Amino acid sequence: MSTPRPLHTAGMPDIARRAYQEPQGTLDWVGMSEIHQPIIVRDGKSQQRVQARVQVFVDLNDPHAKGIHMSRLYLLLDEHSQNRPLSVAGLKLLLGSLHASHLDLSTRAYVEFRFEYEKRQMALLSDNAGWASYPITVKGTLIDGTMHLELGVEILYSSTCPCSAALARQLIQQAFAERFSKGTPIQFEDVDAFLSTEQGIVATPHSQRSVAKVKTRLSENTDELPIRALIESLEDAIGTPVQSAVKREDEQEFALRNGQNLMFCEDAGRKLKSALSDDERFDDFWIRIEHHESLHAHNAVSIVTKGVEGGFIPIP
C-alpha cells in the first residue's frame, strides 16, 4: 500500500496564471459541459433526487489571460449540489458564486442542468398507476448584473390527424351505404351488429406520438421552479398525453379522447400558446411542436413564441 504524498502546491507550475505579453482577444464563454452531478431538485414543497448533466461557463474578458480557473467552477458546482437543492434561490446563489470566483477575468456566468423528472401518473379510468418521465432543462444566466432563469420541459402526447379522420369517415359512410340499400327498412339490430365488425369500421384515421418542446423564462416574482405545475398545465391543454399503466378501459378512453381532440401541429401550437400566455410565472416562452408522422417519413412542425421584445427568437 503506497503512502500518500503531502501536497505542496507552492512550487507547482500554473500555466493558466501566466499572462500573455500582448493582448490575445477575449472569449464569450469558457467552461465545462457534460458534468455528471447528482442533485436534489426542489419543486414547490416536494424534492426529488436526480442525476443531472451540467454545463457551467464564465466569459474570458481579460485579453492578456491564458485561461480561466476551471477547477473553481467544478468545485463550486459540487459544493452547491451537496449542500443546497436546485431551486430559484439556489440557482441565483450559484450564479453569483461563479461570477465572484472569476472577478479578475470575467463579467458573466452561465449554468445549465439537464435531467429526467419522474412523476407518478394515474391511469385514465382504472385504479392503476405508473411512472412518467420528462426531460427537464434549467438554465441560469448572469450578464451585466442581470439574472435570467429558464425552465424547459418536453411532453409526449398522441395526435390524430383531422384530415385523415374526415377521409376515414367518408369510407365508413360508403361501407354503410353498400351494406344497407337506400329506401329499404333498416333494423337497429342489423346496424348495431354491422358497426361492431371490421367491415363496419372499414377505415381509421392515422395518429402519431408527438412531442412538445417548451422553454419558459421565469418572471422575477416566481420564487420556485414550477416543474410539475408546468407539465400538468401543458398536458391539460393538449388533452392526450401518453399513458403509462393501461388496461382495456383506459385504452378505450384514450381512443375516445383522441377522436374528440383531432389536431394538426398548428392546433397543438395554439393550444399551448393559449395555456401559457396568461401565466404570470413566465415572462416569455418558446414552443416547438413535432408530430412524428405515421403517414409520412418526415415530421410536421410548428413553432410559436410569446412575442415579447427582447425575448425568445421564433426560430427552429
Provide CB contacts within 8 A for 244, sequence distance 6+.
121, 123, 129, 130, 131, 132
Q: What is the pLDDT of residue 163?
A: 96
Phi and psi for 219 in degrees, rounded to 5? -75, 160
Using a pLDDT cut of 70, give the percent of the chain over it. 93
CATH number for the domain running over 25-161+206-305: 3.10.270.10
Q: Which three cell numbers stand for residue 9?
A: 502546491
Q: Looking at residues 194-210, what average pLDDT do you find?
A: 94
Residue 44: which pLDDT band, with cuts at 50, 70 and 90? confident
Q: How far apart are CA 226 and CA 151, in angstroms?
A: 8
Domain boundaries defined on the chain: 25-161+206-305, 163-195
Q: Which three cell numbers stand for residue 93?
A: 446563489
Q: What is the pLDDT of residue 240?
A: 98
